[in-house]
Chains A and B, each alone.
Chain A
Amino acid sequence: MAVAALEQEILSMRKRRQLYSMIGLLLVVAVLVSGYSKSNAMNSGGFIQGLSKFFDYPGEIVVEAFDAGPAFFSLVLQFVPAMMETLNIAAVATLLGGTMAVVLAMASTRNVDSWGPLIPVVRRIMDITRAFPELIIALFLIFVLGSSPVPAMIAVAFHTAGALGKLFSEVNENIDRKPIEGLSACGASWLQRIRFAVLPQVAPNYLSYFLLRLEINVRASAILGFVGAGGIGQELRRTIGWGKGAGDETAAIFVLLFITIMAIDQLSSYLRGKLVGSGRAH
């Protein structure tokens, strides 16, 4: 009797679960279908008409790049300084944002004896800096400071502080507290405990996240350049603005950007693998 009732319950639970997953799946499909038809209608060019043109533009610039012949490689080299600027934006932003993130993380984890009342405040600050769209800070600073790499750098650094801060504080939560307790038994101050008990434990993970962020920030800086923050993005905007005839330069920038992003991608995933072992990428 009891077994039958149990079986009944399990069956009904399973039915309910199946119903929920069905509803969830249907919801996703409905969003996809209605979303695409709606956005197709809102788009200025439709999907079907665009499909035939999809390869036109890449084709056009490839042909122009091909026509340029060996001169194409010197074109690629010509844009290296601009690419360097983008890399500098990303690197400085990651350095500054990462430093801020370490401070924020140390101030917001109970596990490393942060000051209690400060924890929720710092967490909210991190939430806000993380959610703040980079574009808005960049545009505002470009308006005030003029077109230059600095606005992009500050915008990216701002976001980095929040994003890395959250990841860092997650790392802090998982450390071994024994070294901290050992040091406090010797009468070490909070800063000494952080320096000699916490940092050695978290350094590999911090570095790994730092590299991952650098990779993301290179992409972000390239995009922000397009709205007027200097670097390769700005060059791209210029060559695209010229339209036909500058296709070879556009192609050169595309190639340079692709190579750089791939190189940084591979390098960072190799280094991260060395630091924390492969597998966990996020």
Chain B
Amino acid sequence: MTVDTLETPVTQALVWGQVRRRALITVALPLAVLTYLVYTWFAFGVPELLSRAQPERALILATDSVAYKVHVTKDFRHNDFKVAIEGERTATYDNAKLPKWVQIDGENGVVDLGDGYQVEIDGKTALFTIPGYGVVKGTATAKGVDTVLPDGPVPDWIKDNPRKLDVRPTLDRRLQITKTKIEVHNYFGGWENFWFPFRSPLYGMSFSQLYALALSADRMDPDTSNLWFIVNEFLKNPDWQHGKVFTALFETIMMAVLGTLTAAFFGLPLAFLVARNFTPSKLFRFGTRRLFDFLRGIDMLIWSLIFIRAFGLGPLTGALAIAFTDTGSLGKLFSEALENIDNKQVEGVRATGANQIQRYRYGVIPQILPVFVSQVLYYLESNTRSATVIGALGAGGIGLLLVETMKTSRDWENTSYIIILTIVVVIMMDQASGWLRRKLIEGK
């Protein structure tokens, strides 16, 4: 009889023990995760958060970002009518050239909101005809508003209190009356004044008109060509600030590109100092490795705060913050790649009588080049996203612009515009670097 002394015999107890252990893990692990999630649910204060949440803000953002409104205002102080896009002084229609849906006759006016909805303004009284409900009558008095509603229960889209009447039968039609004014909002889809400001001579022109204008010899502005004039009017649009947004995007891209390239530029030579097979000196290796750890450990957040103090706002600050952090990360990755190279190739080059520089150039670099290029491009991708965040900390670029427009929160369509552009730029950088990586590494 032979006994296998190398392997312990499989007994029933052993099998059961292992089965039990596995069963315990499969039960205990999900339970532990679940407990942790429950703990964080309360640690983050989710119940309180849900009660405080303002989902209507998301709705406002959503409607406001795809629509704009035109205010028709009757002001009792000046006793006049004003029709203005978003109620802005700079975008007020000339009373002789009003849109078709507004008719004004001295003291009185009729605003046709479409689909049978109509507001008649007669002195200080407004009559709002709502199909399927009736006529809401509101009169501004010295103290507030007198309201006459049709019989029956008051729907929740009418907010009637003695100081203010607010009627919004549909999302895109609204009447407000206070003691000082009657205001009708009519909503339209799209982004207003997107191309040119309201006061610009180019406002409302079609593309073919613009094309013809750009080619025509009569100059709008005697000092510049028509094409330049059109571009300028577009970039200097005060509502949308295209010029400023484009500059900010450019700054963000510059931060990412400069930061990553600089990090690669310094990371590669330093990586040679860390790799065991290139630097025999333990002291050097230890020192450089700790330098990498230090650069990485300080983190982009702290680096950018320090650089903002020193260099102020701008792309340079962001680029340096990215460069410092990523010199550490890339250096570490490169040094690992260097330690894993095949020494045979280097020896082969040495056998031909190559000197040290030639050995590095023809024996080492070709081996780590794919790692180098692909890692640098990966970092470029992720740094484009990081650059938006660093910008928001105060380094400038699109991140800061986004935070600022969100804080003022006057026109949500501006915020949406910046968000869309940022996403487009980030995705484009992603695609470009992916394309470049395939092209360079796989030779496709």
**Which A residues form the contact surface with B (CB < 8 A)?**
28, 31-32, 35-36, 38-40, 42-47, 50-51, 53-54, 56-58, 85, 88, 91-92, 95, 127-128, 130-136, 139-140, 143-146, 148-150, 153, 159, 219-220, 222-224, 226-227, 233, 236, 240, 254, 257-258, 261-262, 265, 279, 281-282
B358 smallest CB distance to A (angstroms): 15
Contact B310 A258 (CB under 8 A): no
Contact B43 A35 (CB under 8 A): no
For the complex with contacts A46-B311, A146-B52, A219-B301, 5 further pairs of A-B residues with Cβ separation under 8 Å are A43-B312, A85-B43, A95-B36, A223-B301, A236-B301
Q: 8 Å CB contacts to A: which residues of B286-313?
A: 293, 296-302, 305-307, 309-313
Overall SS of chain B's interface: helix
Contact B311 A43 (CB under 8 A): yes
Contact A57 B297 (CB under 8 A): no
Q: How far is the CA of A219 from the CA of B383 in the complex (A)?
A: 13
Q: Point out the residues of chain A lying under 8 angstroms from B55, CB to CB.
A: 144
**Chain B 259-285, CB within 8 Å of chain A: the 1/0 string?**
001100100000000000000000000
Assess A57 versus B306: contact at CB under 8 Å? Given A32-B258, A143-B406, A223-B300: yes
Q: Is B423 an interface residue (CB 8 A)?
A: yes
Question: What are 28 pairs between A and B in contact, CB < 8 Å?
Answer: A31-B257, A32-B261, A35-B254, A38-B315, A39-B319, A42-B251, A43-B316, A47-B311, A53-B309, A85-B43, A92-B37, A92-B44, A132-B423, A134-B385, A135-B399, A143-B57, A143-B409, A144-B57, A150-B44, A153-B44, A223-B300, A223-B389, A223-B390, A224-B389, A227-B392, A258-B297, A265-B296, A281-B336
Q: 8 Å CB contacts to A: which residues of B389-409?
A: 389-390, 392-393, 399, 402-403, 406, 409
B321 smallest CB distance to A (angstroms): 11
Contact B423 A136 (CB under 8 A): yes
Contact B49 A133 (CB under 8 A): no
8 closest pairs, A vs B, by CB? A43-B314, A45-B312, A44-B312, A39-B315, A50-B311, A57-B309, A43-B316, A50-B310
Contact A144 B310 (CB under 8 A): no
Contact B306 A136 (CB under 8 A): no
Contact A56 B310 (CB under 8 A): yes
The contact of A150 among B46, B61, B317, by CB within 8 Å, is B46
Q: 8 Å CB contacts to A: which residues of B360-419?
A: 375, 378, 385, 388-390, 392-393, 399, 402-403, 406, 409, 419
Q: How far is the CA of A50 from the CA of B310 in the complex (A)?
A: 5
Assess A279 versus B426: contact at CB under 8 Å? Given A43-B314, A134-B389, A143-B61: no
The contact of B389 among A39, A56, A132, A133, by CB within 8 Å, is A133
Q: How far is the CA of A153 from the CA of B37 in the complex (A)?
A: 12
Contact B422 A136 (CB under 8 A): yes
Q: Point out the residues of chain B lying under 8 angstroms from A219, CB to CB.
A: 299-301
Contact B306 A58 (CB under 8 A): yes
Contact B406 A88 (CB under 8 A): no
Contact B392 A32 (CB under 8 A): no
**Which B residues form the contact surface with A (CB < 8 A)?**
33, 36-37, 40, 43-46, 49, 52-55, 57-58, 61, 251, 254-255, 257-258, 261-262, 265, 293, 296-302, 305-307, 309-317, 319, 332-333, 336, 339-340, 375, 378, 385, 388-390, 392-393, 399, 402-403, 406, 409, 419, 422-423, 426-427, 430
Q: How far is the CA of A95 from the CA of B299 in the complex (A)?
A: 23
The A-B contact count (CB < 8 A) is: 190
B364 smallest CB distance to A (angstroms): 16
Assess A254 versus B302: contact at CB under 8 Å? Given A135-B402, A227-B392: yes
Q: Point out the residues of chain A lying under 8 angstroms from B53, CB to CB.
A: 144-146
Q: How far is the CA of A250 from the CA of B370 in the complex (A)?
A: 41
The residue of chain A having its C-beta at the shortest distance from the C-beta of B261 within the complex is: A32
Q: How far is the CA of A50 from the CA of B44 in the complex (A)?
A: 40
Contact A146 B54 (CB under 8 A): yes
Contact B393 A44 (CB under 8 A): no
Contact B301 A226 (CB under 8 A): yes
Q: How far is the CA of A265 from the CA of B295 in the complex (A)?
A: 13
Q: How far is the CA of A38 from the CA of B253 in the complex (A)?
A: 13
The contact of A144 among B54, B315, B399, by CB within 8 Å, is B54
Contact B406 A281 (CB under 8 A): no
Contact B430 A131 (CB under 8 A): yes
The contact of B44 among A51, A143, A149, A281, by CB within 8 Å, is A149
Q: How far is the CA of A134 from the CA of B297 in the complex (A)?
A: 21
Q: Point out the residues of chain A lying under 8 angstroms from B299, CB to CB.
A: 219, 222-223, 257-258, 261
The residue of chain A having its C-beta at the shortest distance from the C-beta of B427 within the complex is: A131
A191 smallest CB distance to B (angstroms): 15
Q: How far is the CA of A265 from the CA of B54 in the complex (A)?
A: 38
Q: Point out the residues of chain B lying under 8 angstroms from A148, CB to CB.
A: 44-45, 49
Assess A28 versus B261: contact at CB under 8 Å? Given A144-B58, A282-B333: yes
Assess A127 versus B430: contact at CB under 8 Å? Given A143-B406, A227-B403: yes
Assess A35 versus B258: contact at CB under 8 Å? Given A54-B310, A133-B423: yes
A164 smallest CB distance to B (angstroms): 13
Q: Point out the residues of chain B lying under 8 angstroms from A133, CB to CB.
A: 385, 388-389, 422-423, 426
B277 smallest CB distance to A (angstroms): 13
Contact B302 A257 (CB under 8 A): yes
Assess A39 versus B258: contact at CB under 8 Å? Given A144-B54, A144-B55, A146-B52: yes
Residue of A46, A236, A282 with most partner-chain B CB within 10 A:
A282
Q: Point out the residues of chain A lying under 8 angstroms from B430, CB to CB.
A: 127, 130-131
Contact A36 B37 (CB under 8 A): no
Q: Point out the residues of chain B lying under 8 angstroms from A36, CB to CB.
A: 258, 316, 319
Q: How far is the CA of A54 from the CA of B307 in the complex (A)?
A: 7
Contact A281 B61 (CB under 8 A): no
Q: Point out the residues of chain A lying under 8 angstroms from B389, CB to CB.
A: 133-135, 220, 223-224, 227
Q: How far is the CA of A50 from the CA of B47 in the complex (A)?
A: 47
Q: How far is the CA of A241 from the CA of B196 in the complex (A)?
A: 39
Q: Point out the residues of chain A lying under 8 angstroms from B315, CB to CB.
A: 38-39, 42-43
Q: How far is the CA of A88 from the CA of B45 in the complex (A)?
A: 13
Contact A128 B312 (CB under 8 A): no
Q: Point out the residues of chain A lying under 8 angstroms from B301, CB to CB.
A: 219, 222-223, 226, 233, 236, 257
The residue of chain B having its C-beta at the shortest distance from the C-beta of A139 within the complex is: B406
